């Protein structure tokens, strides 16, 4: 149907999408900022258009992106993740200009972008949600009443939040008024919207998310789960599929809930439903978003997520049903970042003097860096995703150890050694870690260092 697709992103995800488009017989146009002239996604596309300086005026510049489509004749646009991928306004602007937005509908995006409203919709659809306020809370009195009902500690969360921002913990009633007003100010500052809602804090939860993909006829298929409990400041560091705490019954129940969630908002294209799971394996809906960056899911299910996105965006039906999906083996992904874990994970842009990427059976590296490339300081610090796949979890861990040991990036600081220490940790090996693990691990390493160990 289309001949050309424009990729409105950079880094490894842009390269990943270029590869999928090529396999589908499509030409690719990329866009780049003035800081990204030598970036891989700009070099390897069929055509590439400079759209302005970083950051606001390039990858977030809606009009420049639409013009780039018009000038190159691209009929569809893939937003990748981050940047404008979850902007209902941009999705609508593409449609208004006759460009297919490869993602969910603007209506679904705006519904899910309002987390308080999304939670209401899910609750009504019979998806278990974390106890909390029904929608947004406005007055402190109302918040106090709800918090007393659900029990402290509670979280106050920004309705428009994302990226781990706009979440505050409240342990006692006397902290509520102040924390709520801080949360509102933060929400206003970061998201331009000060609406907040209240939620019970689940103690020591596991972050387990279900990947779904849906076509425009309403066929919705769940593609297993990812355990993303290994987080630092609510940002994922390592993820794996299956989750170490998964059972066949729990997966079935969570997948069914995820499909109900997607259907409740008329969702099509790829989507992720994030849940918290407690130690008794109760699960609760947290939020749904449209990120596509999940090689571990691709590996255990054999589904190419980006190819499937291209199909469903063209109005074609899903080429598989739920019965075709089987989770096979175990996959782990480590995010390789240009940062210094010894110095509070300070970003480390600069020139990559030498680079050696691991390989061999069961190893995949999605990256956009090359030897001699200079990482600009304007963007997030992820430089590669290292993914391994093996028949069992312990074999996957062993493979990851050696893949990390083989990975060399010189000239900048990276978190490779840090990931290696995580992978070797006994609690990780036992699969008993939860969302609170990494902060404790970091505190312990700091104490060891302070004590000269």
- Which residues are part of the catalytic machinery? 291
Nearer to ligand ADP, 57 or 171 (CB): 171
The CB-nearest residue to ligand ADP is 202
Nearer to Mg ion, 112 or 409 (CB): 112
Q: CB of 274: closest distance to Mg ion in angstroms?
A: 5
Residue 168 near which of Mg ion, ligand ADP, none (CB within 5-8 Å, type-dependent): none
Which positions from 266 through 295 interact with ligand ADP, judged by CB under 6 A?
274, 276, 286-287
Among the listed residues 161, 224, 295, 358, the single contact to ligand ADP using CB under 6 A: 161
398 contacts ligand ADP (rule: CB under 6 A): no
Contact 230, 236 (CB under 8 A): yes
Give the binding range for ligand ADP (CB under 6 A) out of 133-141, 163-171, 174-182, 185-193. Answer: 163-171
204 contacts ligand ADP (rule: CB under 6 A): no
The dihedral built from the CA positions of residue 226, 390, 253 and 294, taken in this order, carries a sign that is positive
Give the binding range for ligand ADP (CB under 6 A) out of 48-56, 57-65, 95-103, 162-170. Answer: 162-170
Which positions from 263 through 282 interact with Mg ion, judged by CB under 5 A?
274
Contacts of 363 (CB under 8 A, 6+ apart): 386, 387, 388, 399, 403
Contacts of 141 (CB under 8 A, 6+ apart): none
Nearer to ligand ADP, 80 or 358 (CB): 80
Per rule CB under 6 A, count of chain residues that contact ligand ADP: 20
Q: CB of 33: closest distance to ligand ADP in angstroms?
A: 25
Name the nearest CA neighbour of 244 among 431, 398, 390, 387: 431
Nearer to ligand ADP, 342 or 439 (CB): 439
Long-range contacts of 100-103 (CB under 8 A, 24+ apart): 100/2, 100/75, 100/76, 100/313, 100/314, 101/76, 101/77, 101/313, 102/5, 102/76, 102/77, 102/78, 102/269, 102/309, 102/310, 102/313, 103/78, 103/79, 103/269, 103/290, 103/309, 103/313
Name the nearest CA neighbour of 17 among 103, 92, 86, 90: 103
Residue 41 near which of ligand ADP, Mg ion, none (CB within 5-8 Å, type-dependent): none
155 contacts ligand ADP (rule: CB under 6 A): yes
Name the nearest CA neighbour of 108 among 264, 243, 333: 264
Q: Virtual CA dihedral for 202, 334, 296, 402, nearest 10 degrees?
A: -130
Q: CB of 248: closest distance to Mg ion in angstroms?
A: 26
234 contacts ligand ADP (rule: CB under 6 A): yes
Give backbone dihedrals phi and psi of 194, rounded to 5 degrees, phi first: -95, 15
Residue 234 near which of Mg ion, ligand ADP, none (CB within 5-8 Å, type-dependent): ligand ADP
Q: What is the DSSP string of 421-450?
A: HHHH-HHHHHT---TTHHHHHHHHHHHHHH
Name the nearest CA neighbour of 285 among 150, 128, 110, 434: 128
CB burial readout 108-118, b (16+ within 10 A) else e: bbbbbbbbbbb
The dihedral built from the CA positions of residue 435, 337, 391 and 258, taken in this order, carries a sign that is positive
207 contacts ligand ADP (rule: CB under 6 A): yes
258 contacts ligand ADP (rule: CB under 6 A): no
Contact 49, 71 (CB under 8 A): yes
Residue 135 near which of ligand ADP, Mg ion, none (CB within 5-8 Å, type-dependent): none
163 contacts ligand ADP (rule: CB under 6 A): yes
Residue 231 near which of Mg ion, ligand ADP, none (CB within 5-8 Å, type-dependent): ligand ADP
227 contacts ligand ADP (rule: CB under 6 A): no
Name the nearest CA neighbour of 254 among 294, 293, 282, 289: 282
The 104-133 site mask, x for binding ligand ADP (CB under 6 A), equals --------------------------x---
Nearer to ligand ADP, 64 or 167 (CB): 167
199 contacts ligand ADP (rule: CB under 6 A): yes
Among the listed residues 54, 205, 242, 341, the single contact to ligand ADP using CB under 6 A: 205
Contact 209, 231 (CB under 8 A): no
Among the listed residues 179, 211, 220, 231, the single contact to ligand ADP using CB under 6 A: 231
Q: CB of 264: closest distance to Mg ion in angstroms?
A: 18
Query: What is the Rg, in whole angstroms, of the alpha carbon atoms belonging to the chain?
Result: 22
Among the listed residues 208, 396, 435, 437, the single contact to ligand ADP using CB under 6 A: 435
End-to-end, the C-alpha distance of the chain in Å comes to 62
150 contacts ligand ADP (rule: CB under 6 A): no
Beta strand pairing call for 382-390 and 330-337: antiparallel
Q: CB of 229: closest distance to ligand ADP in angstroms?
A: 8
Binding residues (CB under 6 A) for ligand ADP: these are 130, 155, 161-164, 167, 199-202, 205, 207, 231, 234, 274, 276, 286-287, 435
Binding residues (CB under 5 A) for Mg ion: these are 274
């Amino acid at each position: 149907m289309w001949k050309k697709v424009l990729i409105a992103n950079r880094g490894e995800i842009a390269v990943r999408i270029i590869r999928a488009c090529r396999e589908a017989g499509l030409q690719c146009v990329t866009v780049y900022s003035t800081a990204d002239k030598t970036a891989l996604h700009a070099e390897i596309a069929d055509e590439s258009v400079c759209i302005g300086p970083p950051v606001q005026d390039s990858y977030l510049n809606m009009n420049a992106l639409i013009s780039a489509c018009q000038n190159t004749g691209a009929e569809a646009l893939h937003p990748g993740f981050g940047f404008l991928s979850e902007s209902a306004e941009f999705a609508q602007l593409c449609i208004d200009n006759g460009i297919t937005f490869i993602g969910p509908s603007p209506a679904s995006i705006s519904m899910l972008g309002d987390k308080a409203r999304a939670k209401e919709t899910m609750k009504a659809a019979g998806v278990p949600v974390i106890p909390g306020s029904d929608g947004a809370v406005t007055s402190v009195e109302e918040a106090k009443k709800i918090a007393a009902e659900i029990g402290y500690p509670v979280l106050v969360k920004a309705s428009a939040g994302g990226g781990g921002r706009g979440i505050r913990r409240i342990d006692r009633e006397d902290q509520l008024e102040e924390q709520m007003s801080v949360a509102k100010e933060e929400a206003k500052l970061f998201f331009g919207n000060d609406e907040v809602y209240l939620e019970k804090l689940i103690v020591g939860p596991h972050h387990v998310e279900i990947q779904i993909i849906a076509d425009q006829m309403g066929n919705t298929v769940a593609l297993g789960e990812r355990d993303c409990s290994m987080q630092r400041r609510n940002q994922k560091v390592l993820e794996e599929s299956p989750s170490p705490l998964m059972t066949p019954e729990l997966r079935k129940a969570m997948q069914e809930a995820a499909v109900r969630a997607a259907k409740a908002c008329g969702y099509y294209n790829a989507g992720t439903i994030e849940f918290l799971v407690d130690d008794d394996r109760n699960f609760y809906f947290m939020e749904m978003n449209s990120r596509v960056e999940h090689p571990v899911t691709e590996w255990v299910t054999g589904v190419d997520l980006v190819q499937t996105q291209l199909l469903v965006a063209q109005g074609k039906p899903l080429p598989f049903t739920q019965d075709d999906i089987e989770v096979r083996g175990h996959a782990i992904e480590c995010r390789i970042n240009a940062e210094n874990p010894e110095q509070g994970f300070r970003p480390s842009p600069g020139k990559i003097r030498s680079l050696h990427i691991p390989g061999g059976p069961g190893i995949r590296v999605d990256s956009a860096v090359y030897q001699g490339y200079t990482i600009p300081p304007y963007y997030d610090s992820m430089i590669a995703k290292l993914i391994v796949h093996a028949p069992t979890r312990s074999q996957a861990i062993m493979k990851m150890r050696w893949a990390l040991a083989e990975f060399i990036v010189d000239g900048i600081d990276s978190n490779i050694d840090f990931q290696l220490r995580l992978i070797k940790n006994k609690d990780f090996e036992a699969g008993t870690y939860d969302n609170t693990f990494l902060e404790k691990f970091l505190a312990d390493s700091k104490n060891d260092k302070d004590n000269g160990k």
